[in-house]
A and B are shown apart, each in its own frame.
Chain A
Amino acid sequence: MSAYPSVPDLWLGVEPRHLATFAAVADAGSFRAAATSLGYVQSAVSQQIAQLERALGTSLIDRGQSNRSLLLTPAGRTLLAHARRIVDQVRAACADVAYLSAEGLIRVAFEPAAGGLVPGLARSLARAGGDVALAVSEMSAPDVARSVAAGEVDVGVGAFGDLRDGISRHLIRNDRWVLVVPEDDALVHEGRHITHAELDAGTLIEHRPHPLPADLASPREDRTISCDRLSIALNLVRAGAGRAILPSLAVPESESGVRVLELADRLPRRAVSIIWLTARRLPGQLAQVASGYLDDDERRSAGEVTVAA
């Protein structure tokens, strides 16, 4: 016997693509929907599942209820967790090799509010040595998470809710929500924290990529202007069209024509994290460098930000 790991006999004829198809079927709930998401024809999907079941000698999908969404057998449910990890690992392997070949080009996806952290990230990577260049793309936090999971970007930064297994996160900021008003707004001279009730009378400008916590967002649809770009939201505030509640990271300190006020009522903080596919090897190190720097940065601006427990 040689020392290298061998392919267990059980897996003869089973390939990563079969497992990817199986995971897609489990996620999509039907062969047809899985075929669409994978770009296969439906018969290819059924064929791959049949092949997998034959190789493993057990049925994975309960075909008893063909008219509803598919159900996994107990063996299917056991396999699913492993299949997801294997698919992640194969994807991560390709992304890692691509990263190595790109010679220091790090693909980073940010949610808009976290854009202000990009220069700090670039500095910290430069200090850590090596020729690094950032390829930055801006997208909503859910899209950031999807791109990271698909291996399309190396690291992502944003405030994420629950992330699926296989994605690691490191908290870098516990960002608060602030009130952004025109500089001639009457509230500016109050010199105190502003309650939500005081905002009821005016128009609220909502920045869609950073949806407000649910308790604040609901009852005021008629007096809300929704926009998808941060610069437009800030311009609307500047022009006196309304007030905005934004993550404090989204509002540069030097932003002219607007004032940033604190809110009296506590809103849940936004846990801004750096995320990467756990199975990736290189970006894990990158993430550590990045988060190390951002922590330093945070200590320097002490008083302004609180680190989460």
Chain B
Amino acid sequence: MSAGTPTERRDPWLGIELRHLAALSAIESEGTFSEAALSLGYVQSAVSGQLAMLERLIGTRLVERSRGPGPQRLTAAGELLLEHARDILGELEAAREGLAAAETEEPHGLRVALAPGLADGIVASLLTTIVSEGELALAGVQSLEADGIGRALERRDADVAVLDRPLVADEIATAEITLQPPVLVVRADSPLSRSRHRPTLEELSRLPFVAWREGRCPSRIEHEFAERGLTVNVVARADSSDSAASMVESGLGAAVLPRSAVPPGAALAAVELSEALPLRFTGIAWLRARSGEHVIRRFVDLACTLREAS
């Protein structure tokens, strides 16, 4: 018995070994123990021993062991077990093929997870860079809640992620792409857009305000208001910076967004604020263990060129 054979108290099937099944199979097809041994390249006693072990594990006789001339016959239990043995060996072969195929498999396209609070401008330029460079096939883009991103990377549901805030986890590597100060976004026809005056948060608190959807992304700007003892008059909540911008455009109110989220064109204006607000973080993340993979390295390189460009 080889080392690691389970003890008797465990399920007997755990002790079954492939050579036991091969021995049964050979006895059936060769007809005698000696022929079976010959075809397997064992001595006869080894084949008998393997069969005896299998019968002991299974708890029943598998070969009749006739004394007279003619081939050995399997019992009904032996026949039944042999059918299973063929399935098992067939499945092992399928597994071997599966593993060989997996090794030569073409690398799949890049799957990107996006954080909810990202400025669409950043995402668009990042994805455009990936596609236009042509080296990386983009297989999918998926928007995830902030707390789902780490898990998606770990489970390899996503290869890389674009973040709207730093992600701290041992197994995740991150790089920062931009840190933009947020700006006040108003309609171009608003008096604020023409004023030279940089508005304060106190002044902002008197405006109708478009904020993040509650529960989705804790609104940092609302936190800033609260810290200053100001109540903000939230008239609408958006679940992406894109829809926030369009709400502003429709005249609902003003919003504080990263500059890159302000779509180019005449409809909206970006106004600098007088107070320093926390910088908007945009970064990328990947599974540290996969840092060596070509697709990951290439994505990180492309994302970093974007950082230099901005």
Contacts and interface: CB of A to CB of B under 8 A. Distances in A.
Interface string B92-125: 1111101101110100000000000000000000
Contact of B171 (A40, A64, A86): A64
A78 B88 contact: no
A56 interface: yes
Contacts of A94: 11-13, 16, 58
A11 B95 CA distance: 10
Interface in A73-110: 74-75, 78-79, 81-83, 85-86, 89-94, 96-98, 100-101
A7 B77 contact: no
Nearest to A21: B14
Contacts of B58: 94, 97
A191 interface: no
Interface stretch (A12-20, A116-124, A260-268): A12-20
Given A44-B4, A48-B4, A83 B95 contact: yes
A51 B3 CA distance: 12
Contact of A100 (B28, B77, B92, B103): B77
B13 A4 contact: no
Interface in B274-301: 287-289
Contacts of A290: none
A301 interface: no
Interface stretch (B19-27, B140-148, B190-198, B254-262): B19-27
Contacts of A282: 80
B96 A8 contact: yes
Interface residues of B, number: 56
Contact of B10 (A5, A39, A71): A39
Contact of B89 (A7, A17, A38, A79): A7
Contact of A86 (B22, B88, B103): B88
Contacts of B11: 91, 94
A14 B18 contact: yes
B60 A11 contact: no
A25 B155 CA distance: 15
A199 B251 CA distance: 49
A17 B14 contact: yes
Nearest to A12: B18
B170 A67 contact: yes
A47 B17 CA distance: 17
A71 B4 contact: no
B18 A89 contact: no
Contacts of A218: none
Contact of B26 (A4, A11, A56, A279): A4
A5 B86 contact: yes
Interface in A6-39: 6-8, 10-11, 14-17, 20, 38-39
Interface in B127-172: 154-156, 170-171
A270 interface: no
Given A2-B39, A7-B22, A68 B13 contact: no
Contacts, number: 151
Contact of B98 (A16, A20, A68, A78): A78
Contacts of A79: 95, 98-99
A281 B86 CA distance: 13
B230 interface: no
Contact of B84 (A74, A83, A93): A93
Contacts of A11: 18, 92, 96
A58 interface: yes
Given A75-B102, A101-B59, A90 B13 contact: yes
B6 interface: yes
Contacts of B222: none
A56 B92 CA distance: 12
B81 A97 contact: yes
Nearest to B18: A7
* Most chain B Cβ neighbours within 10 Å, of A6, A7, A62, A279: A7
A98 B59 contact: yes
A186 interface: no
Contacts of B155: 71
B84 A279 contact: yes
A78 B105 CA distance: 12
A65 interface: yes
A36 to B, nearest CB: 14
B46 interface: no
Contacts of B219: none
Nearest to B30: A2
A197 interface: no
A308 interface: no
B10 A6 contact: no
A244 to B, nearest CB: 38
B29 A3 contact: yes
Contacts of B175: none
Interface in B60-85: 60, 76-77, 80-81, 83-85
Given A3-B29, A78-B99, A93-B80, 7 more contacts: A5-B85, A16-B16, A71-B156, A75-B102, A78-B101, A86-B92, A101-B60
7 contacts: A5-B22, A7-B92, A8-B96, A20-B14, A39-B10, A91-B11, A100-B76
Interface of B: 4, 6, 9-19, 21-22, 25-26, 28-30, 39, 58-60, 76-77, 80-81, 83-96, 98-99, 101-103, 105, 154-156, 170-171, 287-289
